[in-house]
Structure 1
């Protein structure tokens, strides 16, 4: 953890202090951690700095993105395993047309599932980018 040698004190109204406590609690942060995040948002007297994109992802969203990426990896690995099985069986002359068709179908299904997840994430990222462009 980085050293924090400076102490800053300020006075807040009851309303602002309650908001600080509520926001920090919702994000499962200490009040200090929450304020440190806020300090890093680039602002001007007019609002968020022009030309600056500021995107905030909550813990749940990051978790969902991570889970989707893990799922992609599993589908990809299963598809490659099926293709390697097909190649090995063909090389050894131990595979018939029906088995080849079944294995290729299985690999194709996994790749289609991976592609569907990829498209969903891309659509969500595009929405975030669009919102950022509108807001910035």
Structure 2
């Protein structure tokens, strides 16, 4: 939002506890009070004027997006380590360096676990895609 769009000034009173809540929420969201209130104003209370039904709305701040990104990166590291371990086991099996029965069982167990990790990753991607459809407030 450019400064030229900001032509109105708003002034109002708050009780001390409401003001402290505002300050704390702005600190957690890493936003100024003005930007925080602008985002709140952009959230519709009623989304469908024809039916009067309200729809769920998700607002993600910079910190939440950063946390989601960090978690997905962490998941990627773990997935990569598991694949590396499975490839090592398969290498030893192929070259007859260890008891293949034991390694076969371990490789199968790792494969099952990786499939579960992959299903969870797909679920995470699906849930994030659903959030994107609901996002109404965007940073400028």
* TM superposition score category, shorter chain reference: 0.5 to 0.7
**TM-score, L = length of structure 2:** 0.54
Query: In 2, distance between residues paired with 1:31 and 1:91?
Result: 62
Out of 77, 83, 87, the residue aligned to residue 90 of structure 2 is 87
Shift of residue 56 of structure 1?
1.9
Aligned CA RMSD, in angstroms, stands at 4.2
User: Residues 86 and 78 (structure 1 numbering): CA distance in 2 closer, same or farther, change over 3 Å?
Assistant: same
Query: In 2, distance between residues paired with 1:36 and 1:13?
Result: 15
Q: Which runs of 5+ in 2 are unaligned?
A: 50-54, 135-140
Query: In 2, distance between residues paired with 1:27 and 1:116?
Result: 36
**TM-score, L = length of structure 1:** 0.56
Query: What aligned pairs does 1:1-136 form with structure 2 within 5 A after superposition?
Result: 3-15=2-14, 19=18, 22-28=21-27, 29-41=31-43, 43=44, 47-50=45-48, 53-57=56-60, 61-96=64-99, 97-106=101-110, 108-109=112-113, 112=116, 114=117, 118=121, 125=127
Runs of 4+ residues over 6 Å off in structure 1 = none
Query: In 2, distance between residues paired with 1:31 and 1:8?
Result: 17
Larger RCO (CA under 8 A, 6+ residues apart): 2
Q: Which runs of 5+ in 1 are unaligned?
A: none
